[in-house]
């Protein structure tokens, strides 16, 4: 899974990228209604690490449980 796919999944699930947050290639995503934050690092073209995919799956599970 590419980082760009991970970011697209976050956006589709209702997460918003916080502008001017994060350093370097790090971006911080916050859910619109729930108090869930995700830090995503790496270039869009690089492969996502296993822990990034795991964090995405956990966040999506929390969002679907709270809906």
Separation CA 8–CA 23 (nearest Å): 20
Query: Mind listing the pLDDT tens digit for each residue in 22-66?
Result: 788 899 999 998 889 999 998 989 999 999 999 999 999 998 887
Query: Mind listing the pLDDT tens digit for each residue in 1-12?
Result: 899 999 999 999
Sign of the Cα torsion 40, 42, 43, 46 reads: negative
pLDDT of 66 reads 76
At residue 67, does pLDDT exceed 80? no
pLDDT of 58 reads 92
Residue ranges of domains in the chain, CATH in brackets: 3-66 (3.30.920)
Nearest to 26 by CA among 14, 39, 9: 39
């Amino acid at each position: 899974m590419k980082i760009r796919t991970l970011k697209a999944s976050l956006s589709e699930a209702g997460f918003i990228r916080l502008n001017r947050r994060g350093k370097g290639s790090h971006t911080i995503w916050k859910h619109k209604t729930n108090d869930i934050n995700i830090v995503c690092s790496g270039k869009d073209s690089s492969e996502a690490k296993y822990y990034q995919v795991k964090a995405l799956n956990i966040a999506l599970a929390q969002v679907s449980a709270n809906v």
